[in-house]
Structure 1
Amino acid sequence: MQKTDTKSNGYPKSIGYIIANEGAERFSFYGMRSILATFLVFHFFNPSLNPALQVTAEAKANETTHFFVSLAYALPFVGGLMADWFFGKYKVIMYVSLVYCLGHLCLALFDHDLEKFKYGLILIAIGAGGIKSCVSANLGDQFTTHNKHLVSKVYGWFYFSINAGSVLYTILIPLIYDRFGAKWAFGIPGILMALATIIFFLGRKTYVNVPPSGVNKNNFVFISIYALFNFRDKQKNQSLLDVAKRKFDHQKVEDVKTVYNVLAVFAFIPIFWALWDQNLSEWVLQATKMDRHILGINLLPEQIQTVNPFFLLVFIPIFNYWLYPFLDKNGLKTTPLRRIGAGLILLALSFVIIALIQSRIDAGEHPSIWWQILAYAILAAAEVLVSITGLEYAYTQASKSMKSTMIAIWLLTTALGNLFTALVNRSISNGGFFAQFKGADYYWFFIGLLCFFIIVYLFVSPRIKVREMVLGASN
């Protein structure tokens, strides 16, 4: 029996439902987020457009936005556990999708009630967080040994749907917000989320549903906590985690060690997201004060974000198929750790441009939006170097049983970065320590903090042990 099944080149019937669901869900999430910061400023925190209140209003809007993003990226860890241990992926996706829809409904209905509007944001964060941890894994579950060679192509379409949604939301939703108001601008993403839920439900009979496995005690959290509370039992020449071998599976303990090796790199990632996510809030608010005339078109400030996914789609093939091979061929090996370091440096450069733009705005000028587009281009290059490489690094360095854990921890780095930025903006809005960093000084503070991390990274990264692991080696 050397021949493969005749259906080996056929895609599972469930794939169309899953990809359509993801595209609609991403449109709904990023659609509402594209206008969130400006909406909060002009509808809740400074509706009278009082110049004396603008700094505080923007800080409050940024605080709310970053807390929302932090919650959305912290909850996938919980959603993943609920799916794997208790309910299965289908039920979690279905249930939290309903919560998701309710959150969008709150945004559309309570666009003049801040407290109830925030409840809507919390519900959306719960929905987005629960879905994020399950959808991509559910996609992989649909394949068998007969058609697993099609997985990479399907994931390509999966991520294409995400980027397509990203481009559409940044063009359409700000335009709807400008012409028809907040109710429609928040309502349409809600309709898309309802559509995503219906599409997912319609495919229910086609899915391969992997049943929940129950609570697995041989996991990263349980092993780490046990080792921490029993550190006194550590023997000479043992690592702290070896203590856990008395109670847990020995191989699982060794697998947990691979996670901590990756965490040495991940410790530098939250600062990346603390700055990166400002392009969807602080940068948008900055764009409101700039000359946005491009090729005879006066763009809305929220629409400038469209260039980010555009640059990503351009840079990803350039980096993978030209830049990396060119540098490797000429003796400068582009290891994952070097790519991440270069990405952090480019991130700092993009924020230097933003800080210089802000200095001109502080002086009463209206600089061209082309300068911010340049910053977006450099930011996209940094994202390719750090975000894509970081996730690849996590996969190749962690053992097979810990790859799902690494996805959750990777998403937590985004949550931590946004939490820090939210707390900085809370301090500013309350007149606290960070209130001294006004205008361009705000960006220079983050640049200085990032430069500190870069210096530490350049010292630490050469000393990080890199494990030569192949993705499929343990399959």
Structure 2
Amino acid sequence: MKYIIGNEACERFSFYGMSTILVPYMQQFLRWDHNTAESIYHYFVGAAYAMTVVGGWISDRFLGRYRTILWLSYGYVLGHAVLAAGELGFRVPALFIGMILIVIGQSGIKPNLSAFVGDQFRQEQRHLLDRVYSWFYFAINVGSATSQLATPWLLAGCAFGALKLCANSATAWGFGVPGILMAAALAIYLAGRRSYVKVPPAGRDPNGFLAVLRTRLFGGEDAARRRHGEGAVEGMRSVFRIALVFLPIVAFWALYFQYGSSWFNQAEKMDRDIFGWHMESAQMESLNAILILVMVPTFAYAVYPALERAGIRMTMLRRMAIGMFFAVPAFLSAAMIQRWIEAGAHPHIAWQVIQYVLISIAETMVSVTALEFAYTQAPRSLKGVIMSLWFLTLGTGNFVTSLVRSKVAFASETN
């Protein structure tokens, strides 16, 4: 397990490290306006999550999890290398080619690695999974938090006060270090290859979700029951019930992921000096991962039990609804700060802590609970379909935000 957890920590460092500096890179080095930069950022993040559906399908039908993760990781490493090579003078094509390769690479890892963890345990060892997944989630957030602190500093020229150690190659360092970590992730993964349990691909399931859905659409429900059985038809229905619960979460993700775009641009206009240390705007994004590390166990072992003892029953649907509500004051706080800035004020970056705390509470209550809800409501055979739906909500939320940004940019140009 140490190889898989080490791989995940390094891969998350690489992904969050490069995505954290995308908006500042496009604005400061390519000189693109903030609407264009934010729109491209959200299209990239949206594609990275939406394409996981393809990665999961390739794994299930053709390659199996081990080979899908391995082969697409090479494309992932190449994508980082192309981004770093943009320093040589072809920054725009390097940006888009690199992002495409990283999207392809992420599509193989994100939907498969957590399931690959489960493959390593026999039935009698299943009681150990909760502990292992806790470490897995911890690795994700440690990787993202450290990268979101490091790569903005690298992009700023490795600044120590007025001294900038890598000012002439800042983008190569900013994108290159995440690439080195992704190469390390691949090396760690390969180091454990002899110890893994490698489950072969399942191939085409004649009673799978799409097969049942196709029969239901073109032959009716009775035909679906006769051909696939009552259990398969009921499984299809459970997927649609879960999809209805997931639908409003798209709006939540459309708001949530703006911490990497519009909240960055807000931080750019704020006082970022902290006891003599000048904080890079994008480094503020690490606060989300740090807060999640604290909040997930706090809510699970303190907040929810305390509410239950007080007679407030925290069902999964209620948790998600309350969590989405917390996103509202987070953005009201951001709007208040923005009004100060537009009025000519120069507020301190500490004011952004409020919105980060609120959105992190929202994420804890929505994201973790939604996955738990999906896994308890769906049949075991349809867990992969549910994970695909989940990642689609993240991708669609980003596409919605990007579309809005594009409309705003177009309206600004026409006016």
CA spacing shift, 1:205–1:429, aligned 2, 3 Å: same
Which protein shows a greater Rg? Answer: 1
- Residue by residue over 1:225-246, the C-alpha shift from the partner in whole angstroms, topping out at 9 and shown as x without a partner, is 332234xx4xxxxxxx555223
Q: Report the counterpart of residue 195 of structure 1 in structure 2.
A: 184
Matches within 5 A, 1:17-96: 17-46=3-32, 57-96=33-72
Contact 2:138 2:293 in 1 (8 A): no
- Residue by residue over 1:172-214, the C-alpha shift from the partner in whole angstroms, topping out at 9 and shown as x without a partner, is 1111111231111100101111111111122211111001121
Give the CA deviation at 1:334. Answer: 0.7
- Residue by residue over 1:129-167, the C-alpha shift from the partner in whole angstroms, topping out at 9 and shown as x without a partner, is 211011111111111134333222221221111111112
Moved more, 140-149 or 370-379: 140-149
Looking at both structures, which has the greater relative contact order when contacts are Cα pairs under 8 Å and sequence separation is at least 6?
Answer: 2
Aligned residues: 402
Distance 2:152 2:297 in 1: 29
Q: Unaligned regions of 5+ residues in structure 1, if any? A: 1-14, 47-56, 234-240, 437-475
Give the CA deviation at 1:38. Answer: 1.0
Q: Report the counterpart of residue 162 of structure 2 in structure 1.
A: none
Q: Report the counterpart of residue 393 of structure 1 in structure 2.
A: 373
Amino acid at match of 2:272: R
CA spacing shift, 1:257–1:432, aligned 2, 3 Å: farther
Distance 1:314 1:160 in 2: 10
Matches within 5 A, 1:315-334: 315-334=295-314
Q: Report the counterpart of residue 334 of structure 2 in structure 1.
A: 354
Distance 1:134 1:317 in 2: 25
Q: Quick check: 1:412 aligned with 2:401? A: no
- Residue by residue over 1:390-414, the C-alpha shift from the partner in whole angstroms, topping out at 9 and shown as x without a partner, is 1111111112211221111111100
- Residue by residue over 1:331-358, the C-alpha shift from the partner in whole angstroms, topping out at 9 and shown as x without a partner, is 2211111111111111011000111111
Q: Report the counterpart of residue 221 of structure 1 in structure 2.
A: 210
Amino acid at match of 1:66: H
Distance 2:128 2:377 in 1: 24
CA spacing shift, 1:293–1:134, aligned 2, 3 Å: same
CA spacing shift, 1:23–1:242, aligned 2, 3 Å: farther
Contact 1:174 1:185 in 2 (8 A): yes
TM-score, scaled to structure 1: 0.82
Q: Report the counterpart of residue 172 of structure 2 in structure 1.
A: 183
Q: Report the counterpart of residue 117 of structure 1 in structure 2.
A: 95
Distance 2:129 2:17 in 1: 28
Task: Tell me the secondary structure at the aligned position of residue 147 of structure 1.
Answer: helix
Structure with more helix by fraction:
2
CA spacing shift, 1:242–1:339, aligned 2, 3 Å: farther
Distance 2:405 2:31 in 1: 14
Q: Report the counterpart of residue 459 of structure 1 in structure 2.
A: none
Q: Quick check: 1:261 aligned with 2:257? A: no
Matches within 5 A, 1:385-464: 385-431=365-411
Amino acid at match of 1:200: Y
Contact 1:106 1:116 in 2 (8 A): yes
Task: Tell me the secondary structure at the aligned position of residue 17 of structure 2.
Answer: helix
- Residue by residue over 1:292-348, the C-alpha shift from the partner in whole angstroms, topping out at 9 and shown as x without a partner, is 123442211011112111211222222112221222222221111111111111101
- Residue by residue over 1:415-467, the C-alpha shift from the partner in whole angstroms, topping out at 9 and shown as x without a partner, is 1000111111122223379x88xxxxxxxxxxxxxxxxxxxxxxxxxxxxxxx
Amino acid at match of 2:267: A
Distance 1:199 1:320 in 2: 31
Task: Tell me the secondary structure at the aligned position of residue 411 of structure 2.
Answer: coil
Let me know the Cα RMSD of the aligned residues. 1.7
Amino acid at match of 1:258: S
Amino acid at match of 1:388: V
Moved more, 105-114 or 58-67: 105-114
Distance 1:32 1:227 in 2: 44
Amino acid at match of 1:429: A
Distance 1:365 1:246 in 2: 69
Q: Quick check: 1:301 aligned with 2:281? A: yes
Amino acid at match of 1:299: M
Amino acid at match of 1:38: P
Contact 2:3 2:188 in 1 (8 A): yes
Equivalent in 105, 115, 118 of residue 81 of structure 2: 105
CA spacing shift, 1:254–1:325, aligned 2, 3 Å: same
Give the CA deviation at 1:257. Answer: 1.1
Q: Report the counterpart of residue 142 of structure 1 in structure 2.
A: 120
- Residue by residue over 1:48-104, the C-alpha shift from the partner in whole angstroms, topping out at 9 and shown as x without a partner, is xxxxxxxxx111111111111111111111111111111111111111000101110
Amino acid at match of 2:360: A
Task: Tell me the secondary structure at the aligned position of residue 386 of structure 1.
Answer: helix
Moved more, 423-432 or 122-131: 423-432
Task: Tell me the secondary structure at the aligned position of residue 271 of structure 2.
Answer: coil
TM-score, scaled to structure 2: 0.93
Distance 1:305 1:361 in 2: 19
- Residue by residue over 1:6-40, the C-alpha shift from the partner in whole angstroms, topping out at 9 and shown as x without a partner, is xxxxxxxxx12111111111100000111111111
Distance 1:167 1:290 in 2: 21
Q: Report the counterpart of residue 156 of structure 1 in structure 2.
A: 134
Q: Report the counterpart of residue 232 of structure 2 in structure 1.
A: 252
Distance 2:369 2:223 in 1: 33
- Residue by residue over 1:337-384, the C-alpha shift from the partner in whole angstroms, topping out at 9 and shown as x without a partner, is 111111111101100011111111112221111111111001100011
CA spacing shift, 1:432–1:242, aligned 2, 3 Å: farther
Q: Give 4+ residue runs of structure 1 displaced > 6 Å after superposition.
A: none
Q: Report the counterpart of residue 144 of structure 2 in structure 1.
A: 166
Identity of aligned residues (%): 41
Matches within 5 A, 1:351-390: 351-390=331-370
Contact 1:86 1:215 in 2 (8 A): no
